[in-house]
């Protein structure tokens, strides 16, 4: 393989990690290059432009996130809406997933202002989430799986927002309430 192609892989992996830990605020070309251990000049030699860098790094993260979600809550078990809501909520507020959720809301906000490449990225990742959720809903118990999945996704994303504007304890209280309801 090319040196260039090797570097593309190496750099994207490093940048995914960097984005996870610092968010989109530290994502200028120069900052990304420094985080990946290359010069900004070379970053634009490996990739077409900043949008490509961010798109690839976000896709890499989404892939990792999807794999972790698969193992954390396997699809062979179908749940009621309340039960899945509670379990998924506990998952996404876990310290393991929280950095991703933080980045996820930054990406959606960037998509909201139509900032490339986030409009596309956010659509893709959101779609992936919906598929993941719907695959875990028991059609026998859930009258409207697409509606239920959309509702659950909204709630999960909302928990990430709640953490920012309401703090950790509010999130825990919400998750506890969901678990209490999920037992019914």
Measured CA distances, 179 to 90, 100, 125 (Å):
8, 22, 26
Q: Which is nearer to a copy of itself, 19 or 36 (CB)?
A: 19
72 binds, among a copy of itself, DNA, none (CB under 5 to 8 A by kind): none
75 binds, among DNA, a copy of itself, none (CB under 5 to 8 A by kind): none
Q: Which is nearer to a copy of itself, 67 or 176 (CB)?
A: 176
SS3 readout for 18-59? HHHHHHHHHCCHHHHHHHHCCCHHHHHHHCCCHHHHHHHHHH
148 binds, among DNA, a copy of itself, none (CB under 5 to 8 A by kind): a copy of itself
Q: How far is the CB of 21 from DNA (least distance, A)?
A: 17
28 binds DNA (CB under 7 A): yes
Q: Which is nearer to a copy of itself, 6 or 168 (CB)?
A: 168
- Residues in region 113-172 near a copy of itself by CB under 8 A: 113-115, 122-123, 125-127, 130, 143-144, 146-148, 150-151, 153-159, 161-162, 164-167, 170-171
User: Is 184 in contact with 169 (CB distance < 8 Å)?
Assistant: no
Q: Of 21, 39, 77, 124, which one interacts with DNA (CB under 7 A)?
A: 39
Give long-range contacts, CB 8 A cutoff, 24+ apart: 135-139: 135/75, 136/73, 136/75, 136/77, 136/78, 136/79, 136/84, 136/88, 137/78, 137/79, 137/80, 137/81, 137/84, 138/78, 138/79, 138/80, 139/78
User: Is 42 in contact with 28 (CB distance < 8 Å)?
Assistant: no
Instruction: Using CB under 8 A, list all residues that contact a copy of itself.
Output: 23-25, 102, 105-106, 108-115, 122-123, 125-127, 130, 143-144, 146-148, 150-151, 153-159, 161-162, 164-167, 170-171, 173-174, 176-178, 180
């Amino acid at each position: 393989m090319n040196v260039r192609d090797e570097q593309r892989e190496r750099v994207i992996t490093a940048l995914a990690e960097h984005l996870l830990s610092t968010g989109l605020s530290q994502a200028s070309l120069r900052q990304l290059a420094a985080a990946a251990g290359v010069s900004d000049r070379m970053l634009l030699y490996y990739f077409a432009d900043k949008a490509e860098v961010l798109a690839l790094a976000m896709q890499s993260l989404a892939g990792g996130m999807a794999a972790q979600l698969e193992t954390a809550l396997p699809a062979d078990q179908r749940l009621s809406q309340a039960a899945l809501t509670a379990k998924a909520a506990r998952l996404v507020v876990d310290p393991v997933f929280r950095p991703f959720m933080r980045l996820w809301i930054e990406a959606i906000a960037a998509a909201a202002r139509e900032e490339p490449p986030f409009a596309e990225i956010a659509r893709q990742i959101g779609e992936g989430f919906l598929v993941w959720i719907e695959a875990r809903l028991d059609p026998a118990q859930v009258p409207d799986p697409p509606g239920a999945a959309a509702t659950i996704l909204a709630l999960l994303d909302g928990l990430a927002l709640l953490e920012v504007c309401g703090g950790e304890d509010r999130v825990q209280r919400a998750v506890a309430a969901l678990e209490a309801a999920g037992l019914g």
